[in-house]
């Protein structure tokens, strides 16, 4: 029952975030200082089963991101609900030659 409540809450939050995207400029950060364009650039690198190497656009977006914030989503249902593999997501900083936060 608690899991269903969590999933419903995640779905509502995602609907609110995604539903307001048409009002926002694509350059505005939507999560952890990553813009919608940045997420789209990185999406092929964080979805399986055969993820692509991160593009220059993805690494650029990630270099401006709040990686500590991103780490806080590592074990949440938010990333999987967006179609993102959390393990692949956590590998991106090293693939982009960026240092990961210590607590991640």
Task: Report the pLDDT value the prediction gives residue 83, as an integer from 0 to 100.
Answer: 87
Alpha helix (H) residue ranges in the chain: 2-19, 36-42, 56-63, 67-71, 78-81, 86-95
Which residues lie below 8 Å from residue 80, measured CB to CB, with a gap of 6+? 86
What element of type H or E holds 68?
A: helix 67-71
Mean pLDDT of 10-21: 50
pLDDT tens per residue, range 20-45: 444 444 456 678 899 999 999 999 99
How many other CB atoms are found less than 10 A from the CB of residue 82? 18
CATH architecture of structural domain 2-95: Orthogonal Bundle (1.10)
pLDDT tens per residue, range 44-68: 999 988 999 999 999 999 999 999 9
Task: Report the pLDDT value the prediction gives residue 5, as an integer from 0 to 100.
Answer: 44
Tell me the domain boundaries of the chain. 2-95
pLDDT tens per residue, range 66-100: 999 988 888 989 889 888 999 999 999 999 999 87
Task: Report the pLDDT value the prediction gives residue 11, as an integer from 0 to 100.
Answer: 46
Task: Report the pLDDT value the prediction gives residue 42, as an integer from 0 to 100.
Answer: 95
């Amino acid at each position: 029952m608690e899991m269903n409540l969590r999933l419903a809450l995640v779905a509502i939050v995602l609907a609110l975030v995604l539903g307001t995207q048409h009002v926002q400029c694509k350059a505005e950060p939507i999560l952890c200082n990553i813009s919608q364009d940045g997420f789209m650039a990185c999406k092929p690198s964080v979805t399986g089963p055969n993820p692509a190497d991160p593009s220059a656009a993805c690494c650029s977006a990630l270099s401006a991101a709040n990686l500590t914030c991103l780490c806080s989503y590592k074990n949440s249902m938010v990333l999987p609900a967006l179609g993102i593999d959390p393990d692949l997501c956590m590998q991106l900083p090293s693939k982009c030659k960026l240092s990961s936060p210590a607590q991640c």
